[in-house]
Structures are given as C-alpha cells and as structure tokens.
Chains A and B, each alone.
Chain A
Amino acid sequence: MANYYPDQTTILAQTTIRRERLLPPDVMGRVDVEEGLSVREVDIVAQGVRASRYVVVDLAAHLGTADPDLLAEMIIVHDREPVEEGKILATDKKKKRTVRAPANGIVAQVLGSRIVLHTGLVKEELRANLRGTVVSVRPGRGVLIETIGGLVQGVWGNGEVGFGFLKMEPRDGLSSVEVDEFSNEWRGAVVVVQGSLEQADMARAAAQGMGGLIAASMSANLRRIALKLKIPILLTEGFGSDRMNRLAAGVLESYVDRQVSVIAHEPDRWTPDRPEVIIPTGGDSKTSPPPSRNEPLRVGAEVRILRKPYTGVIARVKMLPRTPQRIENGLRLPVAEVTLPSGRAVTVPLVNLELFGRG
C-alpha cells in the first residue's frame, strides 16, 4: 500500500521549537532586538503603527503644476516621515504657496503629484511570547525565536496568550480552590484540568487571577464565555466531555512548577498557528531534534484516535490493510487495525488517526 500521511499533533517532552513572530504586513514597523539575543515571554521584539485611514493630498491642485521635476523640488517631506496636522508638506517659494498636512500622520508614499498620508494611527507591539533566543531577524517585520523544551499542541484556544508556573488541578477539582485575594498559591498559575472544563472552573480561574487553563475539553455551550475571558484557555481534545490523552497529561505532569507559555490561538483555517503550550527547559538542540512533521503511518507507530467511540485513546498500529474495509456504521474506507491499551484490536479509519511528531 502506498504511504498514508496522517495529521500530526506534536506532543513531545523535549524538542527544539522555532516560532516566527511577525508584525502584520500592513504595519510600518521596526525590530527592537538583535540576532543572538535572549528574550523573555513579555519582551517586545518589534513594534510599529498601522493606519486606519489614508489621506491623499493632491499637490498639483494646490500648487498649480503637475510637472514631476518641479514638484520634486517643492516637496519637503520624505517617505515614512511623521507629520503633524498643519505641517508644510510642499511649498512653491516663487508663488508663495504651501500645502499643509490635513491631519497627524506618516508620509506613506509620494505618488507623482500626490502625497499619501497614513492617518488614524494605531500602535502595534509584538511580544516574544516564549523564552528563547532570537535566531534571525526580518527587518521591519519580526524575528524567529528558538527554544528547547516541551511542546504540547492543542486543538482549540480562546485567542489569549499567558505565562505562569504549571500546576495540576487539585484532587477535588478547580472549584475547590478558595478565592483569596491575598493568596499567591494559585495566582498567576497555569492550571491543567485533565477532564472537562466547567463554567465554575473558569469563574474561579478569573477570580483568583490564574495565568491560564489547559483542559481536555469543555461543553460547546461554554465557548462564548471562554472567548470573553482574558486568560488563555487551551483544549487538548476538543468540545464535549473527553478526558485528556495520556501523552499530553504525562508531559504536562512532568513539568509541574515549571514556567510555561500558553499560546491559545483560536483556530483559523488560513493560518498555520495552532494553540500550544511551550515549556522552555534549556539544553542542547543536537540532542533535542525538532518534531518530524511529515511522517507516513507505519506498523508499530503510536497514534491517537480522534473520533468516537475511542476519542483520545492512544493506540499502536498493528496492521495496515491494503484495501478499504467496511466499518461498523457501514462506511467503507481505508483503515488501520490498532491495538488499544487494553490489548483489544479495533479497526479505525486512517483519517481518524494522528501522529505525535516523532514517527
């Protein structure tokens, strides 16, 4: 059978992680760090301004000439120059005519006889979001940061980013944490909930000022509430009531009390960004190879099952039949026979399996 390349979710205790941090393309920006510099999560690596409005100033109409050579002599501002309202943009000394900026802004372009001003400027700041080293710089846009450590990718995030020390939820659940504004035990902590997140858990996390929540799943009805919270919420399994897969739980448990970054990207079809937990540990990139991202499925591979009735179960591929097989609901599909932790072998469609970053 030809190779089948399943989806991958990286869950690795030690690997090399590289993440690009870039300003949006329509931001006029600058990079504030240099290659080789160590950065912390909250460090600003680049900043810039974005125009919410453009103003075209027609010089020809004001100065009475469209001759580019003459106009070039009259224009006294240059590209990317900040201007205040009323500042002179061009002047005809002979005729004693001037053209002034109609608003505060930045000179974006000089187009023949017209000056384009970016106005209604909004400041953009780009933080590192993870602890690591700047390995390359894209002038005006951003940086590539590398770190060594654990990486747990999730499937959904609420769009927030946060940092803190990792803690597992208390035995009696997160709701057993008493809200105490003077206690620092849970303040700023990133808490792992291995089951389904409840509304009360979110309320408690917000009230106690926790740094983030990493949960297996939550009810679909709570999505809107989660999106309104200002702390990051990351789900490893999805919506519903599934428990966390044992690989993710194992990696997270092994890093309790470590500083972690929770980058809870809200999934977007058009961007490659996935919600993820990064646990920088330091170390040697030679002994921590980056995740292999394009591995075919092979007999013996450890896989996660993505759909009911085995959602989240980590299994091992036992056999890859050459021809499509009929599964219990009548569909006939390419499948793998996998061995569950109980030792039972079951048939699962190939598209319902994923790998973890190492073949």
Chain B
Amino acid sequence: MADTDDIKSILAADFGSVNTRVILIDLVDGAYRLVARAMTRTTADDPVRDVSVGLFRGLELLTEQTGRALLAGRKDQVLMPEGDGQGVDAVLATASVGQPLDVVVVGLMPDVSVSSALHVLTGSYARVVDTLSLADIRTEQEQINAILARKPDLIFIVGGTDAGAEEPILELVRVVLSAVQIATKKPMVLFAGNRAIQAEVNELLQDATNLFVVDNIRPSLVDEALGPAQQGLAAVYNRFKVNGGGGFEEVSAISKVGVLPTAQSYTHLVRYLGAVARKDHSGQVPGVLAVDVGSATTMAASSIQRRGYTCIRTDIGVGHSALGTLSGTTPGNVRRWLTWDAPSDEILAYAYNKSLRPATVPQSEQELELEYALAREAIRLVVGQAREAWPGGAKAAPPLRPIIGAGAVLAQAPHPGYAALLLLDAIQPVGVTELLLDPAGLIPALGAVGYLQPSAVVQMLDAGDLLRIGSAVCVDGRVRRIGYGGMRVTIKLPGGQVERRQVAAGTLWTYPLPPGQTARVEVKTSRGLSIDGKSSLKLTLEGGAAGLIFDARGRPLPLPRNAEARARLYPAWVAGTQGTIRLRVDEVDQSQVDRDALGTVEIMTGEEKAAESDGIAEIAEEEKPRRRGVFGFLRRTPAPHEEDAGETPASEMMAELEAIAAARSADEVRAPAPAPAAEPAKADSDEMLSELRESTQETGKKRRFRR
C-alpha cells in the first residue's frame, strides 16, 4: 500500500469505452467527500489514441468548476502535491476501455485449481481462450501450437497444493516456456501455483517474458485463496495497459495504484457491503447487487450470503456492444419494452447504428425507448447469468438490498424514478429493496481509493455520495388482472401525517419521501401476491431522490403483447415512479397481456374485487428503524464464523474498511455525527433533488385521490 500519511486530496480517473470520468475527493470538515466531478469523451480511439489527453481535458473542466488549478506545465501534467489549495496529493486510475485480456489457463485439476483460476478471471476483463490441464489429451506439440494459435496476452498458471506434487506442474511450465519462446508477441505469465516451485518457475520463465509470481491460489485441496491471484491479475492488467500504449503508460506513471480494472472496484465495494450487511426484517442477510451498464461491457457484482460473485460480459452493452446485446436476446424481447410495434429491422438498425456511433444519445422519445429497452435486456442477461452462480441457482433469488445502478444510461435517466424503473424492470427483485445510483461514477474511484485511504471509502459511502433513489417494496406473485387488487399502503410520517393508497395490481406508485427522511410503512397485499412470503408487512423505510416505490406489478412482470396496451400501460409505469398514476383500469386491454409472462388474465368483476380486498391477511411484523446512509441499513459487524471462508480480494483493505465501519458505528451510538457543513458541488444530485421537490408539490395535489 502506498504511503498515505499526507494525502488530503485525491483525483480519481476512470477510463471507459465512451467517457473519461474524473472526480475530485478532498477533506471537508475532516472527512473525505466528493467535491467535484467532470466527464469528457474518451480519447482512447481515433484520432487521438491517447487516454491522457482526455484526462487533461477532464481536469480543465474540473478547474473551471472549482477554480482550483489542477494542471501544470503546458496543461499536460497534473499539479502535485497540493499546495495553497491548488493541485492534488494523489492520482488514481481505473479503466475498462480497451480489449479484454486473452488468457490461456494452465493448471492441474479442472475441478480444483483451474476452477479457482476461472473464478479469479470472472472479476476482470478477461476472455479465456484455452485451457491446458492434466485432463488435456493433446500432445506437447499440439499444446504449444494451441497456445501460439490463440495469441494470448496472459498465460495463467495454477496447480499443485503447497505440499503437493511438483513435477506435473513443472512439465506444464516447460510447455509454456516453449510457447513463450516461439511466440512473436510474448504473453505475460502469472504463476499462482505450488509455492515450493516458485524459484524454479522464476528461473525458467523470468528471462523469457514478463513474469508475475504470487501465492498459491489453492494452498490445499480445501482452501481457496483468491486474494493474491486477484492482486497479481491487477498488476498484470496494469502492465497490459501500459504495454498497449495509448497514453496508459503516462497515466500509470502518475497513478499511485497503476491502472486498476474498473470491475475490481465494483467487486471490492459489493463484497464489503455484503460483509457488513445485517439481517433484514425477514430475518435474512440480504444480498448486494451492483450493475454497471456500459457502452462495451456490462457487469454484475454481487454478494450473496457474504460470498462475492462477479459476472462481466464484454460483449454486452448499449453502445459498442449493442449488437452483442441483441445477439444475446431477440428483437421480440426488445420490442416488449416499447410502446409501438417496432419491426425487427428497425430494432436491428438501431443496434447496428449504436454500435457504429456508440457515444451518441437518443434525441427522440422513440429512440429513448429503444435505448432503454436495450439497457433492460443487457441488465437482464448479465444479472440472469450472475444468478446462475448464486447459491440455489437462478430460481432462488435472495432479497437484494441495496441494488446499485451505474453507467451513463442509468445515471442520465430523465429522473431518478426512471432509473429505478429500469432496474426494477430488468432485475425484477421481490420484497423490500433499496435502490442506489452512481451518477458521478464514484464506484470505480472508491475501489482505487480503498487501496490508498480506506477511511475515505467509508466516509463517502456514509455521507451519501452515492445517490439514494429510494426504497422499493415489490410484490411477488403473478398479477392476473391489471388494475384490481394489488397492495394497500399506509405511510405514517414522523409529523403524524398519514398517507393511504391502494396501488392497483399491475401498477406502481411512488411516495416522494426525500432522502434522509424515514416513514413507518404498512403494506397489505391482495390474494395471490406477497412480500417476502407474507401478505402484510410493517417496517420503517427511508426515502430518496424518487422516494418510496410501491411496485404492485407482480413477478414476472405483466408485459402486454399488444403495442396499444403497452402504449397505455408503460407511460403509467413511468408516471408511477414520479408519484403520479395516469393509468385508468379500463384503458388496458387485459386480453393483450402476455400470457406467457403472466398466466391467465381475466377482467375482474366488482364482487370479485371486493372479495379480493377482504382476503388481505392481517399478519404484521415490526422492524426497528434504520439509520441513514448506505451503512444505515447495512452496517453490522459480522461474527467470525460468518466470514467468507475464501480470502477476499485486497483483504487488507477490506479488513481496514470493516474496522472503520465498526468504529464509526460505535461512535454514532454515543453521539450522532453532525451534518456536513458545506455541501460540495454535486450538480446531478442537486438537480435531481430539486426535481423531486417539484414533483412532490405536484403529487401533493393529487393525494386526495382514492380508489
């Protein structure tokens, strides 16, 4: 870890496929806060092909915003260290732009060491192009040819327990040596196998190529230690970026941590949030999910039962990889999110054109719908794949709390509620969840900052530098009749004001409770619907930029096949996330709702409607009020036996983070932390909040409406 004693201000840069984001972190009243942020177009592509140019352009924007000089020389150097309120003490860099690492995995046992290696690789931008193991029946000659034909960037060697056999893995190392010696483009080698042969591996390979040696990924048959291999992979990624040129050599030289893969930041943050999560109202430790929808790559990082899972798809996205998204789904699946009957040709043309001009944004409403339809499908595909690895498989989805959305397509949504809708539509969580958004691109920075100043991560999360969209209560069960039944909601505000609302099945509604405010909420569901297996629930929820979202659409979502029905239903959903309900039940042609998604749909009679309401059970459950911030609902010091058996990445950083969180928790019991004095500039958050206030006023006029 870098010497961090004198670091007061940090500049974090994240290099994406379309945008370069820079954020300035500084001490405000003794705590690290996000002070300013800026975004510029990437300069990784033609004509510039130098990411440092984009970095300096971003710094010019930051200087313009803050009045703080950040550039020195001919505006081609970062002003370091900080002095007289100018410059910064440290620069950190993360990147997702560029080609993924092509990796050949070499190991002994496919189910043991090779499996661990693949686990490590899922957390980075890597593509496994071949695997060599003892189960491989190819001759040595064929194995060498296979490595040469694949032209890998990295050969990842694992295998052998620390007290285990040495010769079989050494034989594979010699095969690798032959291939490396012959290869025109020398692949790097990462060795994370039997520690007893590290010296021999060094002797064989260190003169032939860039060699990285770390501790054994499988010290014994039952122990898996992923941390050192993950750190080794981060070092390889940095070298890969530097070797690839394009300005990364310059960026790596000024960054205290080299160039880290952006995905690793998500993995670290989510694992940390998972590790400090506490049991919720249902008695379960909720999972944590972060979804980043990019132009070229979409990733889902999750922590389920305190174990981390990462799924990165470098072929799925809404820009460069729009075609990949369409290949993973169908035009029909995209069409079901649109309010008009778009021909497949039109959907295909949209995806082609978006991949040709990935930085462009929709200007018309129709194109915005298409963009969001692709985004929903991208998230659905990646989260669906991630779910398959979760304990219990895809069908046993645990409660997720929070769900964090990131990526420009979510962060630039017209209002926070719209971003919430996209997440709810694509992930379809059930039960009670919290929705957060990363409009500033903070998460990539947090992962890097964690290496340097773990306390800064905790402080920024606690201060709410991630935008809190709100809490969502989502019913489970199939909605068979849109507009009838649903959930009855009672919201008791601290001032004694009570808000009652019937949220009809198949719709959603948002109560605009601002961030930082809590309310007692009672929800009762109609027959066939439930929340965490119950038909009634009482709990305290915190608001957000959108507020409290009550999603009575059921699961799976009732998506009409008919475009006219969609054209009436979907705007009502969008309006519902802003606290208004435009939908009239008689506007929806129930017969057009997708029966595959929904089951049988019937129009409900008046008597049936009354019976449905009477069927609401009166089972209530109490939940203690929660505190504010990300830690407000997550923080808990886990018991030792609850820790993940496997070593976490950057375990030192994680341990430090948890210790800080625990210490902060103890402090706050004694004396609540004072509110931050001067709020730093956060244009997007402020704007969203002002919009929220406007929509609250608007919604207030309609509150007398009762069904």
Contact = CB atoms under 8 A, between A and B. Distances in A.
Interface in A1-41: 1-8, 25-26
A221 B687 CA distance: 42
Contact of A349 (B43, B60, B363): B363
B371 to A, nearest CB: 9
Contact of B361 (A272, A310, A351): A351
A59 to B, nearest CB: 14
Nearest to A347: B363
Interface string A267-309: 1011010100000000000000000011000000000001111
A319 interface: no
A20 B370 CA distance: 39
A308 B145 contact: no
A155 interface: yes
A308 B350 CA distance: 11
B178 A2 contact: no
Interface of A is mostly: loop
A117 to B, nearest CB: 10
A203 B363 CA distance: 35
Contacts of A6: 41
B345 A328 contact: no
A328 B356 contact: no
A329 B360 contact: no
A333 B49 CA distance: 25
Contact of B141 (A56, A219, A332, A351): A56
A7 B182 contact: no
A7 B362 contact: no
A351 B41 CA distance: 8
Interface residues of A, number: 51
Nearest to A335: B363
B364 A308 contact: yes
A239 B348 contact: yes
A274 B357 CA distance: 13
B662 interface: no
B356 A109 contact: no
Interface string B387-408: 0000000000000000000000
B363 A267 contact: no
A1 B40 CA distance: 13
A55 B352 contact: no
Contact of A331 (B151, B348, B349, B362): B362
A255 interface: no
A272 B687 CA distance: 38
A330 B414 contact: yes
Nearest to A324: B683
Interface string A326-351: 01111111000000000000001101
Contacts of A56: 141, 144, 178, 182
A14 B641 CA distance: 73
A155 B356 contact: yes
A2 B41 CA distance: 13
Interface in A164-207: none
Interface in B67-114: 99
Given A54-B144, A269-B320, A219 B345 contact: yes
Contacts of A269: 296, 320
Contacts of B362: 307-308, 329, 331
Interface in B328-353: 344-346, 348-349, 351-353
Contacts of A238: 349, 352-353, 356-357
B415 A330 contact: yes
Contacts of A267: 355-356
Interface string B351-391: 11101110111111111100000000000000000000000
A220 interface: yes
A55 B365 CA distance: 60
Given A53-B145, A306-B360, A307-B361, A331 B61 contact: no
A259 interface: no
A196 to B, nearest CB: 11
A85 B345 CA distance: 54
A239 B365 CA distance: 19
Contacts of A263: none
B345 A307 contact: no
Contacts of B144: 54, 56
A330 to B, nearest CB: 3
A223 B326 CA distance: 15
Given A331-B414, A348-B363, A352-B363, A7 B356 contact: no
Contact of B348 (A1, A4, A221, A270): A221
Interface in B168-214: 178, 181-182, 184-185
Interface string A94-130: 0000000000000011010010100000000000000
Interface in B654-707: 687
B360 A240 contact: no
Contacts of A221: 344-345, 348
A329 B364 contact: yes
A163 interface: no
Contacts of B617: none
B120 to A, nearest CB: 25
B602 interface: no
A7 B349 contact: no
Interface in B236-287: none
Nearest to A156: B356
A268 B452 CA distance: 37
B365 A294 contact: no
B141 A55 contact: yes
B412 interface: yes
B181 A111 contact: yes
Nearest to B683: A324
Contacts of B344: 221
Contacts of B346: 240
B357 A54 contact: no
Contact of B182 (A3, A25, A109, A306): A109
A116 B148 CA distance: 12
A111 to B, nearest CB: 5
B553 interface: no
B57 interface: yes
B412 A25 contact: no
B620 interface: no
Contacts of A349: 360-361, 363
B64 interface: yes
Contact of B184 (A3, A26, A240, A293): A26
Contacts of A2: 57, 60-61, 64
11 contacts: A3-B57, A5-B43, A25-B185, A56-B182, A114-B178, A156-B352, A221-B345, A307-B361, A331-B413, A331-B414, A351-B360
Given A54-B145, A308-B367, 4 more contacts: A2-B57, A55-B141, A116-B182, A309-B363
Q: Give 8 closest A-B pairs by Cβ, nearest first.
A: A330-B414, A293-B47, A220-B348, A239-B349, A220-B349, A329-B368, A272-B46, A239-B352
Interface of A: 1-8, 25-26, 53-56, 108-109, 111, 114, 116, 155-156, 219-221, 223, 238-240, 267, 269-270, 272, 274, 293-294, 306-310, 327-333, 348-349, 351-352
